[in-house]
Amino acid sequence: MLELLDLAGSVVTLDAMHCQKETAKRIVAAEADYILTVKGNQGNLANRLLELFLEYGEQRYRAEGLRKHVTVETSRGREECREYYAIAVPDEPLFADWSGIKSIGMIFRVRDDGDVRHSEATYFISSLPPKVIMLSRRIRDHWKIENSEHYILDVTFSEDRSRIRAGSSPEISAAFRRMALNILQQDTTVKDSIRGKRLRAGWDETVLDAIYAGFNMV
């Protein structure tokens, strides 16, 4: 898919599933930048980022070159504080194979939900310089889109209740759901909600054909 898109000058933000060396290489080759979330599927990288930010924490996050940005948001009565940290990528062999990498970072989130406090730390790598405010805005935009998409996929497509489990079937079915959602979101032939468009397309093949034809003309 990356090869089909004109990415020049863009910033590609991807979740941990797509944190792969080949993906980073293709994005940089397309003259674009990336921000990739790092989790357990990249075990050595994730462990090293954890070690580094524990070391920075022991220094009260005052390491040379480490930048910090804090945001606080209140939504539906819940307050969430996010601390963003970014620093130039260390000169270590572990990072050398990641094409174009310039910075590493951590987001520490604390959310108060009534009397319960939730906290989580996530890590990322990027081909962008360690300008923490700029990085935080890109990451936040990614989460806004992802949260909105996940809500629609769960409510309209019942993704969380899917019983598809075997082999690569969950990934394939998820890709088809997202493709269908993208087509319905771009459609202008039917004036209805995503749920309504989906139902009408299932009931009437002429509606389905019109939606699909409109998408092909985009």
140-156 pLDDT per residue, tens: 886 765 555 666 666 67
The pLDDT assigned to 149 comes to 61
Residue 99 neighbours by CB under 8 Å, 6+ apart: 21, 24, 25, 27, 28, 29, 127
pLDDT at 78 over 80: no
DSSP state of 90: P
pLDDT value of position 61: 92
pLDDT of amino acid 142: 67
* Cα–Cα distance, 26 to 29 (Å, whole number): 5
Residue type, 45: L
Q: What is the mean pLDDT of residues 71-86?
A: 85
Confidence (pTM)? 0.69
> Could you tell me which residue, 54 or 214, shows the higher pLDDT?
54
103 or 188: which leads in pLDDT: 103
Average pLDDT over residues 54-62: 94
Q: Could you give the CA distance from residue 197 to residue 90 in angstroms, rounded to a whole number?
A: 50
Per-residue confidence (pLDDT) for residue 36, from 0 to 100:
95
pLDDT score of 198:
79
Can you read off the two tokens belonging to residue 215? 């998408």
CB-CB contact of 49 with 70 (8 Å): no
| Cα-trace Rg, the chain | 20
Highest mean pLDDT of the ranges 79-83, 104-108, 115-119, 202-206 = 104-108
User: 80 near 9, Cβ under 8 Å?
Assistant: no
Dist. CA 71–CA 200, nearest whole Å:
42
* Average pLDDT rounded to a whole number, residues 8-21: 89
Helix (H) or strand (E) holding 75: strand 67-75
135-144: Cβ within 8 A, 24+ apart: 135/35, 135/84, 135/86, 135/103, 135/105, 136/69, 136/71, 136/82, 136/84, 136/107, 138/11, 138/13, 138/35, 139/13, 139/35, 139/84, 139/107, 140/71, 140/82, 141/13, 142/13, 142/35
What is the arrangement of strands in the sheet containing 78-88, beginning at the earlier edge strand? 11-14, 33-38, 116-126, 103-113, 78-88, 67-75
Distance CA 44, CA 42 (A): 6
